[in-house]
Amino acid sequence: MGDLVQAELRKTTTTTLWWALLIPTVLIALGGGLLSGLTGRTFVEFFSSSEAEQLSDALGVTPDQWKFSLLGIGRTINLATMFPLIFGALAIAGEVGTRTITTTFLTAPSRVHAMAAKMMVYALWGAIYGLAIIGFTALGIVLTSTSGQMPDAGGWAMLALVCVLSSILMTLFGVGLGALLPNSAGVVVLLIMYFLVIENALQLGLRLSGVPETAVGFLPNGSVDGLTGSVAVDLFLADAGVVPEEGVYWLRVFAGAGGAQAWWLSGLIFLAWVAAAFGGGWARMTQKDIT
């Protein structure tokens, strides 16, 4: 098994795809971090100004305790993990496309071995992308924000944990779907369309049709977004003092956790989606005739 893992690792490091996708990942993370920091800073400056002081007092807002930059982090992670998702999707779809899958199956004791080795290597890559995302998001926030707008060490650790988790799960979701639909262009277009357009339309439709808000948190993007978004909202609320219920709703929507369950439950829900995609892809690849 160790041999196969090494082989799969070499497959990923001997082509340029990993850094070709890491560049936009890092740019989005950095950009999202800068924007989140700026938003938080603008907010503090606005409510701290003498004109808004009365408004702040009336609303019960203590501006230096409202870490608005936190809310942008969840959104940034969700957008940046699109790239590890694509990286994962090309794991098997790419091999079917270049026909290297034939040699892969000819040199592995079984297809299950080959798939398992791939899963381990792509989980590792998911973690690497996740660390890059949280690292550059943090860098962006540090550059544009004041220290009062930032989470404490425990908060950062928690954000890093869910970011890495989210990135690993997104990568594996891609691997599964790429096995289920082994066509590079097709699966990449489908995933981008789904995560950026289709599910957002679906969420809007659900909300408009009066389905309970929590339904959204059970959709793939709703749940993976909830994994990071819920943590961001939790960290925000921990310091923000009293926030009216209506306010919490909008905070969650803003952070990308609208309708989502608690972070760990959201993670488990998305894990179920990953398992479904992976199981389907696994079944397809073990049965497929390689002609």
Partner 1 sequence: MHDGSGLIAVQNLTKQFGSVTAVQNLSFTVSPGSVTGFLGPNGAGKTTTLRMLLGLVKPTSGTATINGRPFHQLGRPGRVVGAVLEAQGFHPNRTARNHLRVYASAIGVPDAQADQVLGLVGLSTAAGRNVGGFSLGMKQRMAVATALLGDPQVLVLDEPANGLDPEGIAWLRNFLQSFARMGRTVLISSHLLAEVEQTVDQVVIVSRGQTMYYGPLEHLRQQQQRRVFVQPSDVGALATALREAGVQALEQLPDGRLAVSGVDAKQVADTALRAGVSVYGIQEEQADLEQIFFRLTSGQFVGHAPAPYQQQQGGWA
**Residue numbers of the site for partner 1 (CB under 8 A)?**
3-4, 6-7, 10-11, 14-16, 94, 98-100, 102-111, 287, 289-291
CB of 179 to partner 1, least distance (A): 16
Least distance CB 14 / partner 1 (angstroms): 4
Q: Closer to partner 1 at the Cβ: 8 or 225?
A: 8
Q: Smallest distance, Å, CB 283 to partner 1?
A: 14
- Six token digits for residue 116: 């398992």
- Nearer to partner 1 by Cβ, of 100 and 200: the residue is 100
Burial of 107 (0-12, 13-18, 19+ CB in 10 A): exposed
- List the one residue out of 31, 121, 34, 145 whose CA is nearest residue 80: 31
CB 264 to partner 1: min, Å: 37
The letter for the amino acid at 106 is L
Residue closer to partner 1 by CB (options 14, 54) is 14
- Work out how close the CB of 28 gets to partner 1 at its nearest, in angstroms, rounded to a whole number: 24
Closer residue to partner 1 in complex, CB, 3/64: 3
| Per-residue tokens: 95 | 């091999």
Cα gap 215→207, rounded to integer Å: 9
C-alpha distances in angstroms, 170 versus 11, 42, 185? 20, 32, 18
- Rank residues 157 and 290 by Cβ distance to partner 1 and give the closer one: 290
E-strand ranges in the chain read none
Structure tokens at 127: 């973690």
Neighbours of 71 (CB within 10 A): 24
